[in-house]
Structure 1
C-alpha cells in the first residue's frame, strides 16, 4: 500500500546514492581518524556522531535492504517486486528509536557537548546525512499512517450513506446505538449538573440531622436534590427542535397532533439520522484533508530528498517547513515564505526534533481521535440486538432440534436422500444402461409393445379354426365329394388364404348362415363363424402392433435417448445453476463490494486525469475542490492504491501481473495527462468485464 512512497525515492536512485555516500563517508572518516591527531573534544564529537550514525544505520538497514531488493526485481521486470513494501520495515518502534537518536544529537549539539570541527568536514556531512535519513524515515512513517488511516474512511462513509439512504437502516441504527445514546445523555446531564453545582455548598444543615448523616445529607442536597430541575431544563432544551418543527409545519398540515406525534415519537430516529449525518460529514472532511496532505507529501516534500551522488550533500531547509505546514491544523498547501532562508545545522536539528517529537505525533493523535470518534460503531454495538435475541431464543431452538433429531433425520432421509437416490437410479442410471445395451445389441434391451411369439400363435390358431370350419362345411362350396387328396389341397389353399388375409370362404359361409340365422345359431355355425372373425380381428390388431413394434425397435436408441434426456437435462441444469451461483452469486456476493469500490475508483481516476488534461491545456475549472492540485494528485494516489487492493479479490491470478504493470504505467505517466488517459482507456477495454 505504501510502495508508492518508496517508488518516488527509488525513481531517481536517491536512496542508492545516499547509501553509497554513507559507506564512503564512513570509510573516509575511519581512515582520517586513524592517521590524523585530533584534540580530545574533536575526538569525542567524532566518536559520538559516528556511534549515532551506526545506530541510525542499524535501524534503517531492513528498510534499505528491502528497497534494494525491490529495485533489483523491478529492473528485472519480476512481478514479485510488488509484494515487497520497504516502508513496512519502518515501524513505530523504529521511528521511536530514530527520534531518540535525533533528540540526543540535538541536545548534545545545543548543549555544546558535540561540535562540528572545521578540520573534519566529513562530520558535518555525516550530520547532514543523518538529518536527511531521519526526515525521510519520518516522512515515510507519516505517509504510511495517512494512507492506512484514509483508506478505511471510504468504508465508514459508505456505511453512513447506507444508513441515511433507508428508513429501515435508520431504525436498525437507532436500536444499535440506543444504549450509547442513553449513556451519552446521562453523561451530558451529569456534566451539566457538575458544572452548575461544582462549588455549591449547603449553607445550613438542620439540627435534626444526626452527626453521622451530615456528610450524606450535604452530598444529597448538592447532587440529588437539584437533579430534577437540571434534567427538566436540558430535556426541554433538547425538545425545542421538534417543537419548532411542529410550529413551522402547522400551517402546512391539518393535523398538528399527527405532526407532534411524528416529531416526538420519531425523536430517537431523527436524532440517530442527524448523528449519522454528523459523523459522515466529519469523516468526509477528514478524508479530504488527509488526501490533500498525501498529495502534498508525495509531490512536494519527498522530491526535496534528492541526491545524485556527485554534488555536495546538504539538508534542504524546506523539508522542515513542509513537514511543519503538513502537520498544521490549518494546512492549505501554500509555500512558506521563510522556507528559503538559511539555517544552521543546530537550527535544523532543533526544528526537525520539534517536528518529529511534537507536530507529527500531534497530527497522528488528533487523527486517531477523530477516526475513533466518528467511524462506524464497533462490532459489539452493531450486533448486540442479535446477540440478545440469540441469547433468548437460540437455546430453545437448539434444544428442540436435539430432542427431535431422530424425526428430523428420518424426514431428511425420506424426503431428500431417498428422493434423490430414486431419481438418480430410475431416471438417470436405468435409461443410460438401456442405451448402452441398445448400442451393444443386447436382446434384453429391446423395446416392444407385444411379446415375441404372440402374433404367430394367434395366426396359427386362426388357421386351424378356419381350416376346421371350412372342411366341415365343404359341401357349401362344391358338390364334389371331399377325398383325402382334395382335403390336403383344400387345407393348403385355406392356410395360404388366411396367411394372406383372405377370409372369403368364411365370409361366404357367414352370408349363407344369415339366410337362416336361427338354424345357424342353434347348430352353432353362426357362433363359430363370428368367433373366427373375432380371432381374425385380433390377428389384424396383432399385425398392426407388430408393425409398430418393429418401428420402435428400429428406433430403440432414439427412444432411449429421449427417455434419458429429461433427467439428464435436469442434472445439467442443476450443475450449471450451481456453478453460476458459485461464480456469480455466492462468490460474487463476497466480491460485490470490491467490484463497486473498484468501479468508483476507476471512475474517479478517469475524471481526475481528465481534469489534469484540461488544466494542462489551459482551461479553467468551475469546481473548487477538483481545482486543488494537491487534492487531485493525492486522490489519484489513493484511488490507485485502492484499485490494487480491491482487484486482488476480483482478478484471476494470471491477470495480476498485467494489472500491476498497467497501474504502474498510470503512476509513471503523471507528467503526461493525455498518455495517462489513454492508459486508463486501455485498462477499461481489457479489464472492464471483470469489474462489471
Structure 2
C-alpha cells in the first residue's frame, strides 16, 4: 500500500467514525407501510451500490475514469429525483446521498494527492538536473556547448527582428548610387548592434560561463518555487481536508456539521488546485488565499441558493467532477508548461553533440572493423577458447580431483615417490648387512642365527653398527681393505643406508601431504572459482536486470530521503508544541513517500512491516516535531545496516 493510499484509508476510517455518530444508520431503511418512504427505495438502493463501489479496495487509489462514472451516476440519481418530483429533503435519502458524496470526495482527494506527489518528483528530478550542471565548471561548459545552437539561433532571430524594425522605421530617401544605400544600411546595422550591446551591459561584463551559471540558477529557483508551492498544496490538503477540529475530543457531531466538513473539504481541494495553477501565487500567502477563496465560495452559494442543503450536495458532486475533469488536468498542464520553460533542454538539444560525433565517426569505425575483420574474428575465437580452457582446466578438473579426494580414490592421492620403493630398498639393505655379517663374523659369537635376527631388527631401525665397525677397521689399512674388497663393500652398504634414510624422510613428507590433500584441493580450486564468480557477476549486472546496482541506488536514495526529512524537521521551531508548516509538511510527505518506495527494494521483506510502523509514527504530526525527531533518530540506527 502506498503512502497516499494509507492517508486516504485513515481519513476514510475517521470519517466513518464521525458519520456513524452523526447518522443513525438504522434510519436509512425502507418501511413498506410508508408510501413516501417506499417511493425513494430504488434510489436508496442505487446510492448504496455506488457507496459500495467507492468503498471497495481501500488499499489502492481508485482510477479516475471509474470515479467519474460513479459521480455521473450520483448526479443522475439526483436528476431523476428532481424529474420524478420525489421529495429530496427526506433525511434518510439526504444522508445516503451525503455519504456517497463523502466517499467520492475522499477518493478524489487520493487522486489529487497522488498527482501532486508525482509532479513533485517530476520537479525534483528537474532541479536535480540543474544541480548536476552547476556541480562543476566542466558540466556547465558541456551544457553551454549543448545549448549553443539554440542560443545562437535565438540571438540571430532577435537581432533580425530589431534590424527589420529599424529598417522599417528608417526613412529611405532616393540615393543616386548603390554605395550610398549600402552605407546607410551599414549604419542601421551598426546602430542595431550598439543598441543590443547597451541593453546587455550587465551581462557583457560577465564571462560566458558566469552568465550561463546565473541563468541556470534562475531556472532552478523558479522550479524550486513551483516545488515549494506544490508542497504547500499537499500539506494544506492533508492537514485541512476532512479536519473535524474540536470534535476529536468528544467524537460526536451533528448532521449539519458533518455535511459542512464534506462541503468545505471539496471546496478546499478545488481552490487549492486553482491556486496551484495561478502564476501569481506565492508560498507565503498560499494558505490565506485558499481559505479566503473557500469562504467567498461558501457565502456566494448561501446568497444565491434558496435551498442551501440540496444545492450543497449538487455543488459537491459537480465540483468533484470538475476537479477530476478540469482542475487536475489544468494543474498537470501548468506543471508541464513550467518544466518545458524552466526545466532541462529537449532531448535533441542534450544529445545532438554525441549523436553528431557518432555519425561522423561511424564511417571510420566501419572501415576499421572491415579492415581488421580477420584479426577481430581471431581475437574473439581465441577469447572463447581461452575461456573454455580456463573453465575446463581450472574449474572442472580441480572439482573432479576434489571429489575423488573426498571419496579416497587411489588415483587421486598425492605421491612424491613410488609405494614399494622404500620397502624394497630397506629389504635390500637388510640382506646386504646380513650377508656382510655372515662373511665377516665377529669372534666370540655363540648363536649365529640369533645374532642375525638381532642385526636384522637393528637394520630396520637404522642401526648398521657391524658394517661401520668393519669399515673403521679397514680404514686403518685402506689399501689392503680395498684389495680384499671389504672397504668398498662397506662403503656401498653405507650408500644404500643413506638412500634408505632419504626415502624414509620423503615418505614422511608424503604422509604429511596425504593428510592435507583436501586442503590442497580447495586451494587449487579457489582461484578458478573466484575468477569465474567475478566474471559471472559482472556479466549478470552488465547484461541482466542490474538488480544489484538498483539496490545500491535505492539505498542511496533512501538515505538521502531520510537526510532530507531530518533537515526539514531541523529547520522547524523546536518545543513541545511545535508543528510543521504547510510547506514543510508537504515536503515531509514527499520525502516520506520516497522513503516508502525506496524501502521496497532496499530493505529485506521481513523488515518492511516494521519500517511501515515507524513511518506511520513519523507521519503523525499531531505529536509535535520533537517526537518526530526521536523517530528519525531511531530509524537511523535501526536501519543503518541497509542505509
TM-score normalised per structure 1? 0.66
1:503 counterpart residue number: 467
2:271 counterpart residue number: 324
Matches within 5 A, 1:258-657: 263=207, 267=208, 269-303=209-243, 311-312=255-256, 313=259, 316=263, 320=267, 323-324=270-271, 327-328=274-275, 329-330=280-281, 331-334=285-288, 335-336=291-292, 338=296, 341=299, 342-345=302-305, 362-391=330-359, 392-393=361-362, 395-396=366-367, 399=370, 403-424=374-395, 427-430=398-401, 433-434=404-405, 436-437=407-408, 442=410, 445=413, 447-449=415-417, 452-453=420-421, 456-457=424-425, 460=428, 467=435, 500-501=463-464, 502-504=466-468, 506-507=470-471, 510-511=474-475, 513-514=477-478, 517=479, 524-525=483-484, 528=485, 531-570=488-527, 573=530, 587-609=547-569, 614-617=574-577, 629-657=581-609
Give me the whole-angstrom Cα distance separating, in 1, the residues matched to 2:196 and 2:582: 46
Cα pair distance change 1:611/1:535, threshold 3 Å: same
Secondary structure (helix, strand or coil) at the match of 2:287 reads: coil
Q: What displacement does 1:445 show? A: 3.1
Contact conserved, 1:594 with 1:649, CA < 8 A, in 2?
yes
Contact conserved, 1:591 with 1:649, CA < 8 A, in 2?
yes
Superposed CA offset, 1:577-605 (max 9, x none): 78998999964532344223322322333
Q: How many residues are aligned here?
A: 592
Q: What displacement does 1:559 show? A: 3.5
Contact conserved, 1:9 with 1:302, CA < 8 A, in 2?
yes
Give me the whole-angstrom Cα distance separating, in 2, the residues matched to 1:423 and 1:322: 69
Superposed CA offset, 1:4-39 (max 9, x none): 5523540323599599999998989x9649869xxx
1:213 counterpart residue number: none
Contact conserved, 2:126 with 2:339, CA < 8 A, in 1?
no
Contact conserved, 2:146 with 2:353, CA < 8 A, in 1?
yes
Q: What displacement does 1:299 show? A: 1.6
Cα pair distance change 1:467/1:633, threshold 3 Å: closer
Superposed CA offset, 1:348-397 (max 9, x none): 78998698588766544332211222233444443443333444246456
Contact conserved, 1:162 with 1:169, CA < 8 A, in 2?
yes
1:39 counterpart residue number: none
Cα pair distance change 1:152/1:588, threshold 3 Å: farther
2:56 counterpart residue number: 68
Secondary structure (helix, strand or coil) at the match of 1:632 reads: helix
Superposed CA offset, 1:400-458 (max 9, x none): 67544531233214433223422235655435534542xx6x48836343662466458
Give me the whole-angstrom Cα distance separating, in 2, the residues matched to 1:8 and 1:572: 53
Matches within 5 A, 1:222-261: 229=190, 232-233=193-194, 236=197, 240-241=201-202, 243-245=204-206
Superposed CA offset, 1:204-252 (max 9, x none): 899999xxxxxxxxxx99xx9999558744774687456524xxxxxxx
Contact conserved, 1:21 with 1:309, CA < 8 A, in 2?
no
Which has more radius of gyration? Answer: 1
Give me the whole-angstrom Cα distance separating, in 2, the residues matched to 1:194 and 1:644: 58
Give me the whole-angstrom Cα distance separating, in 1, the residues matched to 2:298 and 2:454: 135
Secondary structure (helix, strand or coil) at the match of 1:589 reads: helix
Q: What displacement does 1:297 show? A: 1.9
2:15 counterpart residue number: 13
2:136 counterpart residue number: 166
Cα pair distance change 1:238/1:537, threshold 3 Å: farther
**Gap runs ≥5 in structure 1:** 37-46, 71-80, 109-113, 210-219, 246-262, 619-626
Give me the whole-angstrom Cα distance separating, in 1, the residues matched to 2:95 and 2:451: 137
CA-based RMSD = 5.8
Give me the whole-angstrom Cα distance separating, in 1, the residues matched to 2:396 and 2:111: 66
Secondary structure (helix, strand or coil) at the match of 1:69 reads: coil
Give me the whole-angstrom Cα distance separating, in 2, the residues matched to 1:126 and 1:208: 91
Q: What displacement does 1:159 show? A: 2.2
1:157 counterpart residue number: 127
Select 1:178's aligned residue among 121, 143, 148.
148
